[in-house]
Amino acid sequence: MKMDEWLKKMEIENLEDMSYLESFCSVMELDESVPEDVFHQLFADVTADEIREMMDQYLEEIMAGISEDCIEFFSFLSSYRRSFKGMMNYLIREEQQERAASELFRFREWYREPGSVLCMDLNEEREFPASVCESLIMGRMEKLSEGSYRFDYSGAMGLEYDEYEEYIDDEEEDYLDLADDDPKMTLIDPVDPVIDGVDYENEEGYMQ
């Protein structure tokens, strides 16, 4: 398939648009597999700095769609997000920006891997497999009261990554720590999730 056909399939006008988040999302969420050589052509003129910023925004958005009972998976993606940002900083400083697209491709392969998540449709009382991407889309639908699901991410936590903490500066550290400050990550008791006088399930305060 020619590049213009891939662009049409992703609803992207031209390669110059690949530095925009909307085009980035189109590539990440395309239903079919994208060959690695095509993927590299798509991001050939996108810098590691641009990939770092778009990926960070994208991860922040998809993490917001994770169901509240999936604390371990939220923590997993939070750690990966920190690692990816540090890795991109490392590649920029070491002038190895060509590796940025390869790391992004590796993420997409994991993200789109069929059947890595076990889903339960609570309305229809049926189980079915899905990719991480598909499960997070269902999670967003659930937040809009379009369906009711439960997700088992135990088979989807095999994305390996290295730590790059030394390549994250103080400003980024503060930003990432703030982004990770989520009620579902600090619950004392997941059965009776009350902390700091707030019942996050019922959104009501209480008096001891």
Mean pLDDT, all residues of the chain: 81
For 180, the domain range is 47-111+165-205
In a domain, 105, yes or no: yes
pLDDT of residue 169: 67
DSSP 166-180: GGS-HHHHHHHHHHT
Q: Tens digits of per-residue pLDDT, 45-101?
A: 999 999 999 999 999 998 988 888 899 999 999 989 988 988 888 888 888 888 899
Nearest to 54 by CA among 22, 83, 79, 90: 22
- Which residues, other chains included, contact 98 with Cβ-Cβ below 8 Å and sequence gap of 6+? none
One-letter amino acid at 50 equals E
Partners of 119 in beta bridges: 128, 151
195 domain-assigned: yes
Verdict on whether the full-model pTM lies above 0.75: yes
Adjacent-strand bridge partners of 205: 198
pLDDT tens-digit profile of 129-157? 999 999 998 888 887 777 888 999 999 99
Structure tokens at 188: 């004392």
The predicted structure's pLDDT at residue 140: 82
Does 107 fall in a domain?
yes
DSSP H or E stretch at residue 149? strand 149-152
Q: Where are the alpha helices (DSSP H) in the chain?
A: 3-9, 21-28, 36-42, 48-63, 71-93, 98-111, 132-143, 170-179
User: How many distinct structural domains can be found in the chain?
Assistant: 1
- The predicted-structure confidence for 152-174, as pLDDT tens digits, reads as follows 999 999 888 876 666 666 555 65
Look at residue 14 and tell me if it is in a domain: no
* Domain-located, residue 41: no
